[in-house]
Amino acid sequence: MLVQILSALYRLTMQGLQIYRIALVVYFLLSWMPGGYQSGLGQFLIRICEPYVGFFRRFVPPIGMISLAGLVALFSLTFVEYGIQAIFQMLFNLIIQFG
């Protein structure tokens, strides 16, 4: 029973990260469209993506007029996924070993 709950939680977490990754890509693409951030979708994406991307803007300097903070943010999301996978794998192993 505990394995099924953990498995469902793992799938839900991974799907959430995939949805967030897609939201980030759309957020970045909107910057190329005039008035893209003024739309309803743009305002929504600003609220959910800017805190995460803004964190990286503080540490990653722009090169000329190009900010690489978005790429670093997107790339770091992969490491977050790896970390979550490792945590769940450890939990599954503990349940199998002691359960």
pLDDT (0 to 100) of residue 79? 96
pLDDT (0 to 100) of residue 93? 92
pLDDT (0 to 100) of residue 46? 95
Beta-carbon contacts of 80 under 8 Å, excluding residues fewer than 6 positions away, are: 17
pLDDT (0 to 100) of residue 66? 85
DSSP for residue 31 = T
pLDDT (0 to 100) of residue 3? 86
Considering the entire predicted model, what is its pTM? 0.87
Which stretches of the chain drop beneath a pLDDT of 50?
none
95, 3 Cβ separation under 8 angstroms: yes
pLDDT (0 to 100) of residue 16? 97
pLDDT (0 to 100) of residue 1? 83
pLDDT (0 to 100) of residue 32? 87
30, 42 Cβ separation under 8 angstroms: yes
